[in-house]
Chains A and B, each alone.
Chain A
Amino acid sequence: MRPIELLRFATGAIIAHPMRSALTSLGVVIGVAAVVMMTSIGLGAQQRVTSTIAGLGSNLIIVSPGASRAGGGGGGGGFVMGAAGSGQTLTDSDAETIAKQVEGVVAVAPVVRGQVQLIADGANWNTRIEGVTPDYLVARDLTLASGRMFDEREARQGKKAIVIGQTVATELWGDLDPIGRRVRVRGVPFEVIGVLASKGQSSFGQDQDDVVLGPLGAVRSRIVGRRARGTTVQTIYVKAADADSLDRVQEDTTNLLRDLHRIRPGDSDDFQTQNMASILQASQAAVATFTILLAAVAAVSLLVGGVGIMNIMLVAVTERTREIGLRMAVGAKRTDILIQFALESITLSLAGGLIGLTIGVLGAVAIAKLGSWPVAIPAWAGPVSLGFSSLVGLVFGAYPSWRAARLDPIEALRRE
């Protein structure tokens, strides 16, 4: 007996009932397609979250005012949205002292924020404004598409110069070069001296190019003055030299700020620090959990598909009892019958897996094209889904095949 002949028997039986075979495989098709799509969506989300958080600046520590009580202060998402902290405990001098005294710091960037209406050449646009120091570009890994950033001296002298994001440039001047143009911010004229390179949308749906950067002092006193009194700032970004020193820099910064704010040992901080690496880890873990959950739900449908195959295989064994008896009479061994039916089940499941994989990949690509949802098809999707569907066929085909092989040929031949 040649093994290829058993495979031919198996495929012959499948082809003999095309409609039934297709419906039998449907459960596996849906299961595999769902697993592939869900893991692709999950992996895509994970990559998007990673790049977004990395896009905020690498090796970054974010210092915000207010205690780090759960749910307290500026609320969740504060580290990204830049919502005002619950207090005004951070100042310019905190930032300067960190820059001077903490070792392994590349950049320290204090920031104030506000929402403003820009008016220029008859157009107007509502956007976020951030009052920053030149170090801000370093801290946040930002680059300029054209023009230049204001320097320390200009910032200190209160020069009214701003750097704008791509969205702002397009909304106010279209395709025209915005460098050197004047824009009125709360009635104060500023000159556009630079345009930021585009960063696109964040995974939270925020347009990262819809922003204006101005000198910290000028923005604070003229634009957000009512909220930011004196020399307080809303956030201090501290960029460490490398990932290895991140934890130490965070600890040194925390200790320094406690000293500066005269917080006694045992009392809680009046500020909080967040480390980009730990934020990234937490976000990735959350997305990974979410992905596993989705894939698990999808895998259940794959098991249901397996039960469907077992059901039809049991029907097939009953229906073909006489065929099995005849095959035994002309010399088939029990293992020949066993393998024939197992191959039939595996082929059904594997074909379903192949079709499901195709649909899953096409579906994932379609989601990426039509929706703005990020999709990444994992490299293991092919081998794993095909391997898994073969396994489903083997496991759920085992019992029906065993039943077929155990038949008594005399009884089987007598069956009507």
Chain B
Amino acid sequence: MIEITDLRKLYVMGEEEVAALAGVTLSIGRGENVAVIGPSGSGKSSLMNILGGLDRPSSGAYRFDGEDVGGFTDDELAAFRRQRIGFVFQSFQLLPRLTALQNVELPMIYAGLPPRDRRDRAAALLDRVGLGTRMGHKPTQLSGGQQQRVAIARSLANSPDLLLADEPTGALDTHTGQEVLALFRQLNSEGLTLVIVTHDLDVAAAARRRISFRDGLVVEDEREAAA
């Protein structure tokens, strides 16, 4: 599904050019459960931004289901994020003014779904992540674990092909973190492709494939033997 070839991302820092990604080649297949690990500054976040269509590579190719995402226009990237990617962030990124239900509806509004359809789907998704009784709550009225589950429900709103999670358990205690990981595993077992960026080795251990980054390069790519 994902094919990246010699991907580079350069930033200009003052007079120096820094390579966040220094020539990465890898492929991720449909239905995989991948953890991207590495110390901060290793390039794993840059990779996630490019995979999610939030950023463009400086050079190299990024093909998603055969499409050249690297060459997309701004509007094409927006449509790509809307239709094919679900994001889960460390800090949840829920809009504080909106209820849980409205937060989940948001991506479907941009996709142009009629109000009734998107409300039904948002309710079903909240039910699915175990928050069927909290739909009318604002984010401030929910615990961290509950907020992250709302964010996961939102990421699933437009039935994405790829779920990208950036330190999804970083702001949660161990117990709720485990619950969120269990939810991810379940989603993956239903066929959703999952890429989790983390530096937490426990989180990484739960994945089927671990890709280690250092200084913008892949240093290790290990797969769990098929169980």
Q: How far is the CB of A8 from chain B (nearest CB, A)?
A: 9
A326 interfacial by beta-carbon distance below 8 Å:
yes
Which of the candidate stretches A130-138, A211-219, A259-267, A332-340 sits at the interface with the other chain?
A332-340
Q: Mark A248-260, 1 if CB is under 8 A from B, else 0.
A: 0000000000000
Interface residues of A in 394-416 (CB under 8 A from B): 409-410, 413
Give bound CA distance, A333 to B76, whole Å. 9
Give bound CA distance, A159 to B163, whole Å. 111
With known contacts A1-B112, A409-B54, A333–B97 Cβ distance under 8 A: no
* Chain B, residue nearest A320 (CB): B95
Q: Which residues on A sit within 8 Å (CB–CB) of B55?
A: 410
Q: How far is the CB of B101 from chain A (nearest CB, A)?
A: 14
B93 interfacial by beta-carbon distance below 8 Å:
yes
Give bound CA distance, A1 to B107, whole Å. 10
A331 interfacial by beta-carbon distance below 8 Å:
yes
* Chain A, residue nearest B92 (CB): A326
Q: Which residues on A sit within 8 Å (CB–CB) of B81?
A: 328-331
In the complex the two chains form, is A336's CB within 8 Å of B54's CB? no
In the complex the two chains form, is A331's CB within 8 Å of B110's CB? yes
Give bound CA distance, A327 to B54, whole Å. 12
A69 interfacial by beta-carbon distance below 8 Å:
no
* Chain B, residue nearest A6 (CB): B109
Q: Which residues on A sit within 8 Å (CB–CB) of B149?
A: none
Which of the candidate stretches B23-31, B82-90, B172-180 sits at the interface with the other chain?
B82-90
Q: Which residues on B sit within 8 Å (CB–CB) of A329?
A: 52, 54, 81, 87, 93
Q: Which residues on A sit within 8 Å (CB–CB) of B78?
A: 328, 331-334, 336
Q: Mark B42-59, 1 if CB is under 8 A from A, else 0.
A: 000000010010110000
In the complex the two chains form, is A323's CB within 8 Å of B95's CB? yes
Number of A-B contacts (CB under 8 A): 61
Q: How far is the CB of A18 from chain B (nearest CB, A)?
A: 13
A16 interfacial by beta-carbon distance below 8 Å:
yes
Q: Which residues on B sit within 8 Å (CB–CB) of A413?
A: 89, 93
B74 interfacial by beta-carbon distance below 8 Å:
yes
A148 interfacial by beta-carbon distance below 8 Å:
no
Q: How far is the CB of A14 from chain B (nearest CB, A)?
A: 11
Give bound CA distance, A87 to B217, whole Å. 108
Q: Which residues on A sit within 8 Å (CB–CB) of B110?
A: 1, 327, 330-332, 336
In the complex the two chains form, is B93's CB within 8 Å of A326's CB? yes
In the complex the two chains form, is A330's CB within 8 Å of B154's CB? yes
B61 interfacial by beta-carbon distance below 8 Å:
no
Which residue, A326, A335, A413, has most C-beta atoms of chain B within 10 A?
A326
A2 interfacial by beta-carbon distance below 8 Å:
yes
In the complex the two chains form, is A330's CB within 8 Å of B97's CB? no
Give bound CA distance, A410 to B56, whole Å. 11
Q: Which residues on B sit within 8 Å (CB–CB) of A16?
A: 97
* Chain B, residue nearest A333 (CB): B78
In the complex the two chains form, is B82's CB within 8 Å of A330's CB? yes
In the complex the two chains form, is A331's CB within 8 Å of B49's CB? no
* Chain A, residue nearest B102 (CB): A12
Which residue, A12, A325, A331, has most C-beta atoms of chain B within 10 A?
A331
B212 interfacial by beta-carbon distance below 8 Å:
no
A-B contact pairs, 28 of them (CB 8 A): A1-B109, A2-B112, A13-B97, A16-B97, A322-B93, A327-B106, A328-B54, A328-B78, A329-B52, A329-B54, A329-B81, A329-B87, A330-B87, A330-B106, A330-B157, A331-B78, A331-B82, A331-B83, A331-B107, A331-B110, A331-B111, A332-B82, A333-B75, A334-B78, A336-B78, A336-B110, A409-B54, A413-B93
Residues of A within 8 A of B (CB): 1-2, 5, 12-13, 16, 322-323, 325-336, 409-410, 413
Q: A323-B95, A328-B78, A330-B107 are in contact. List 18 more A-B contacts (CB 8 A).
A: A2-B112, A327-B106, A327-B110, A328-B54, A329-B52, A329-B54, A329-B81, A329-B87, A330-B82, A330-B87, A330-B106, A330-B110, A331-B107, A331-B111, A333-B75, A334-B74, A334-B78, A409-B54
Residues of B within 8 A of A (CB): 49, 52, 54-55, 74-75, 78-79, 81-83, 87, 89, 93, 95, 97, 106-107, 109-112, 154, 157-158
The list of the 8 closest CB pairs from A to B, nearest first, reads A331-B82, A330-B107, A333-B78, A331-B110, A326-B93, A331-B81, A409-B54, A5-B109
